[in-house]
Structure formats: C-alpha cells, structure tokens
Amino acid sequence: MYGLIGKITTHSGQRDVLIEILIRGLADMPGCLSYVVAKDPSQPDLIWVTEAWQSKEAHAASLGLPSVRDAITKGRPLIAGMERVAETTPMGGHGLTRR
C-alpha cells in the first residue's frame, strides 16, 4: 500500500469551497482505499488530506482521471500552498475499502 498525509492552505475564505471540490472530485478513483478530507479547527484556511492507495502507481494513475483533472483545474486557483507532510506505507487498520 501507499499513503500520503498532506496539508493544503487555501486563500482566505476558500476552504469550504475547496473541500467540496476535493470530496466530489474523488468520486471514483480505482485503487483508492481511503481518502479523508478534514478541516483544521485551529487554523481557518487549513485542510488535511490523508490517503491510502493499493500502490504508488494507482495514486499516480488517479491524477490522469477526468474527474481528478477537473477537480485540480477548479481547485488550483483557491490554493495558497501545499505541503506533503509524509509519504507512508499503510500496514492495516480500519476503513481501508476498495471501490
């Protein structure tokens, strides 16, 4: 498995709009086992995204999906900064769900 933990800072006031785009954009991603979009309650423009994939290749392939490309096109103007906090190797747990 392949995992990512990232944070995204939006331009002021754009967080809810971007969260909606991210949640809709990931409607059907082959090989995606978990993709959770969260607000940081202590920082008004910060989003956390935690992901688990069957493989690094499945994640890379998702970036070419029309739905994901559309989300990136719509979301990019709202983003002030992104940081990849960690690349991980998920080992198990709860909520790892194949589509």
Residues making contact with a copy of itself (CB under 8 A): 1, 3, 5, 7, 19, 22-23, 26, 29, 32-42, 48, 50, 52, 85-97, 99
Other CB atoms within 10 A of residue 3 CB: 19
For residues 44 and 77, which CB has a smaller minimum distance to a copy of itself in the complex?
A: 44
Provide, rounded to whole angstroms, the least separation between the CB of residue 58 and a copy of itself.
13
Separation of alpha carbons 94 and 50, rounded Å: 14
Rounded to 5°, angle at Cα 72 from 58 and 86: 55
Provide, rounded to whole angstroms, the least separation between the CB of residue 77 and a copy of itself.
20
Separation of alpha carbons 71 and 53, rounded Å: 19
Q: Note whether 6 and 49 are within 8 A (CB).
A: yes
Provide, rounded to whole angstroms, the least separation between the CB of residue 12 and a copy of itself.
18
For residues 66 and 95, which CB has a smaller minimum distance to a copy of itself in the complex?
A: 95
